[in-house]
Amino acid sequence: LSDSGQIGCWALRDTYTDTYGLLSGVPTTGTFKQVVVGENHICALSIEGTVSCWGINDGSSWGDDGQVTDAPTSGTYTALAASDMATCALSSNGQVNCWGEMYGNDNRIVATDSTIQTLTMDDSNVNYPDVCMRHTNGTISCGKSRIPELVQNTFMDFDISRSWLCGITTEGQAICSDHKNNAHTYLPWNEIDANAPYSKIAIWTPDTGNSNKKTNLCTVDTNHRLRCWETGGDYGTAYV
């Protein structure tokens, strides 16, 4: 997304075939302020608050999941979030509308709250998407009401990945927990704490197709330095 609000997409390999229209479907008109990417679909939010999606509707055992065709065609929106197979949009009146896998053929309103500011979304460890929301007072709520102990804090940034939620508290501390309230102990917290305070955080767990999934955590500190860590597996030793 350029400074002027134009979208550019490209492939990593010269041999890439744009089977799903992820490159050819990019909007050629309009000015945009946010782009989110799923597995085989992309959605963008214009400065006017409209939503555009392109790519394909991934099918599943429930049939056509509508990641592209079920995107809202009316209303104005202020934020987007995407998982592999679904997307959610925050409307100007505080409704969180979701579409795609598990949300049916129509937009599903999962929350209505005028205090919601930002969204983040990911596929959980039970194989369907979840959306979490940060409110104006810094608290976090989630569609499945997970991680009750962690959401008692107040945050200036947060992210979710599979069963984990990580956030930057208003004091600049990075904390993580899972849906069972287990602390994210296999990250190198002694080093992470030593580099606080932080302002931004991102966490993701690639789907490797086996149980030894590595969780990756990146932070930006208040001096604008980027630092990243990777775990050695669910019970492995973290390393920098």
- List the pLDDT tens digit at each of the 240 positions of the chain: 999 999 999 888 778 888 888 999 999 999 999 999 988 899 999 999 999 999 988 765 444 578 898 899 999 999 999 988 889 999 999 999 998 876 665 558 888 999 999 999 876 544 456 788 999 999 888 876 555 555 578 899 998 887 677 889 898 988 877 655 555 555 666 666 667 789 999 887 766 555 556 677 888 888 888 888 776 443 333 333
DSSP letters spanning 131-189: EEEEETTS-EEETT---TTGGGS-EEEEEEETTEEEEEETTS-EEEEETT--B-TTS-H
Cα separation, 110 vs 102, in Å, equals 12
Count Cα atoms within 13 angstroms, Cβ side, for 3: 0
| Distance of alpha carbon 71 from alpha carbon 107, whole angstroms | 7
The reported pLDDT for the residue numbered 150 is 59
Q: Which two tokens stand for residue 70?
A: 């079920």
The pLDDT, as a whole number, for residue 39 is: 85
Length of the chain: 240
